[in-house]
Structure 1
Amino acid sequence: MWKKLHLWIIIVFALLLVASVGYGALSYYSGQDTVPEQVTAGGVDISGLPIDDALKKLDQYEQMLESRTITVDGNTAADAEGSKQWTAAEIGYKAEFIGVREELKKLRSGNVWIRSKSRYHFPSTFELKQSYDPAVFDKLVHAEWDWIDSNEPVNATRTIASNDKVVYTPHTDAYRIDVEPLKEKVASWIVVPDSQLGGQPEQTLTAKLEVKTVHPEITLEKLKDEGIDRKIIEFTTSFATSAEGRAFNVTSTAKVLNDWVLEPGDVFSYGDVVAKTEKEFGYKEAPVISNGKLVPGIGGGICQVSSTLYNAILRISGIDIVERRNHSLPVAYLPKGQDATFASGAIDFRFRNSTGKKLIIRTVVEDRKLTVKLFGTMPENIRYDIESNIVKTVQPAVQKVTDKSLAAGKQVVVQNGSVGYVVDTFRTLVKDGKNVSREKVSHDTYRAQPTIIHVAPGSGGSSGTQNSGGVVEDGI
């Protein structure tokens, strides 16, 4: 009996001894305040370190990444000055180890069994999460150099002064921060590649502030390329003897024609000028030409503007005359063969700007004189001389008309006849003072006006009235 009890005591004691030894070993295992072996976090080796040292090392690494600096050099275009430095954290970068702090905390939490389990199953690697918001950097850069973006580009201007000088005012460029290249450079530097984590990445980055030039829509070069170099010709006619109505019509039409712009290839139509003048000012009564006679009408005088313009156009190069006709009667303000008539719906004065450059027409009315000036491009060493020659005269016919109011044998001259003309007009190109070429530009006919005699019945006169049909020239 005693022997059996003694055996059980020995067995129990042995079991208690074994249990005591095993628990002590487990307690020792779970009570270690170090990181298990072969553990890295984001490439940072924390194997075997005391937990506090490991936590400190992780904090320092995160801080090191976030305290890296970016220096933006503003000494670039647009007279930007100075430089600005930011840390990675300030421009939107963040570095954070994922899960490692929580796992390290578990090594110190719970009973022996829980801590032992945490240590036994402790992960060998942890991720370092990096994030970067480029919008933060974008905002900081624009805030620092916002004055660069504050100006707007200003177009170049062209004015024609009162002395006919063409004056150009240069354009003003504006500038805009071009932050995209800068953002790309920062983005390629700020997020450390996984292969470089754990080491000492590049701590500083210096980058230039890029500024791009913004040109206005109309630059000085573009404006000058339009070809308005100078006044290339002017031509003047007088309407000193014109009555008030005719003077009004000339002046009003000239106002509308002033600053008329022709682009390269444009076809000018005098009918457009007349229509616009009628709409804006209206026309007054003044003599017009109808059926070869001067009669009262509306718009008399408008052809003095077209004829003055025609003479200016004849004296420059690069113009193609599309449509032009002389008056049926000679005009007093120009030599024969150098006029250009107009009749609404029937006759127009048209020409094409074939100079390859822009052409500006300006007009001046002063002291009953009309001056047409053309501004564009033309070599200063050339000019065109205009010469008109009468190649034939046509004597007026005698037209007798029966007038019942006259006594037998009586006759009265009611209209003196006028001679008609056939005229050729030539244009001579003069270069450096020498005649280079000569061309005929028109062959014009001015009708002879008959002598009209009223005679008594039975004296051989024709009956009826003279036809008053035909287009109305020099009016509307």
Structure 2
Amino acid sequence: MAVQNARNKGTGARRGGSGRRRGRGRGRGQGPDMAKIVLIAIGVVIFLICVAVGLQSCARSGRQDAGSETSTEETTTEPETEIEAEITVNGIQIHGLTKSEAMEKVLADMGWKMKVTFGDSTEELPNLMEANVDAVIEEALAKKESGDYTVQTDGLDDAVQVEVKALAAKWDVEPKNGSIASYDKSTEKFTFAGAQTGKKIDQEKLASDITAAMKAGEYDKTITATANEVQPEITEAQARDNFKKIGTYTTTTTTNKDRNENIRLACAAINGTILQPGEEFSFNKMTGNRTTEKGYKPAGAYSNGVVVQEPGGGVCQVSSTLYNAVVFAGLKTTERHAHTYEPSYVTPGEDAMVSYDGYAGPDLRFVNNGKTAIGIKASISGQTLTVSIYGNPILEDGVTVSMHSEKIKELDAPAPTYVEDPTLQPGTEVVAKAATPGSRWQTNLITKKNGQVVSDVLLHNSTYKGKAATIKRNTSGTVAATETPSTESAAAPSESAGESTAAETTAAETAAPTTAAETTAAPTTAA
């Protein structure tokens, strides 16, 4: 009964309480309602903080994605799958491995250490089987079937040839023909050197030995390369017997001592030069910069159409004389330039202008396209300048070459230069210096066989500027009083020959060119 009563009281209390809920809400029930509000407020704050943090995180993530999108795409790679089938390659189980792991395992089992030796040199070959190992594993993966696979040497011929050719290029020794080797300036004679035997790797045998070792699985084998002797085409005795002057040319200089001294220095710089087969000659490199420190004297040179005194004036006559000898000898010209104005010591179109400031400038270059070395002799005696090429003839017997140049167009001279002369009558003009027209020349290379022309081809064209006339006149309207000239007055200096400068170049000598006899030579191409 006590329990039952208690229950009844409780029930009654709940129910009674229900009847008094409004009253308690304004009294004792105020505490719990405030707690709920506080909890809700805290929850809202936490929610807002989470939202803010989430937004910041998203923003950072977005910026990172935008900045590294390309990088992620480039670096992301699909993970390699493992080989599921029971597969062996050369007896090596690769089940459960990735392709790269399988490659590494099979290649390691091969123990590739193949080498090739020749004399004191040893070269290790790259693993030529690697490509075929890769192909076999790819085939096994494509079939996805269990099985045993063996790596073959099929299709490796090209790879073997690449390695063999590389080794041959390193170890081959070209034979050397007997030819001149040095020049004795005291005796003015060239000395000779004996021929040398060459060596050529037997590429066919080496390729066969490498392939056989791979087929036998001898991947660590050391193979010895063999070579065959290669005899020179020309012995020392033959070189001596055939040695001769193969090209020569002579020009006449002026009486200007300083200019002739410059010519002598340039001749000394190239005299005795020996050019090996395939080697290129450079006039500027041989003489270097023509400076007063080297002894070169100021001499007439054209600069912007005006004759000036410049160290080295006159050396263009040496380069032009050399050029003719080079052409007659059959050597291959690789660089040649015409002067700014027509030269007179060689036929226009057959000159070779040079200029050098120590770094660059127009040059005369040619290559020894013969089979033996050639030598150069250059000298000046009095006013006679001669340059000759010595060596074994470049072409067969009976072949000669020569140049033929002709003017194909005359160009107008520049506008005249007027000079005021108050001693002249007003309106009077006097030509103090006549104009010289410019010109364009065509030079052909004539090749003859036993005296008969077999080739007549264009070698190059050359264009030369004209020179303006100098005209005196009086535009003042009055005539100035003149004084009686002194009998001791000095004569005006004459305009001496002009030579090369970096701006404009020519050699306007009064000496006529001297034509050399034709010699054995080949058609050349001049720049």
Rg larger for: 1
**Structure ranking higher on relative contact order (CA contacts 8 Å, 6+ apart):** 2
Q: TM-score, normalised by structure 1?
A: 0.48
Q: TM-score, normalised by structure 2?
A: 0.44
Compare the two structures and name the one with the higher strand fraction. Answer: 1
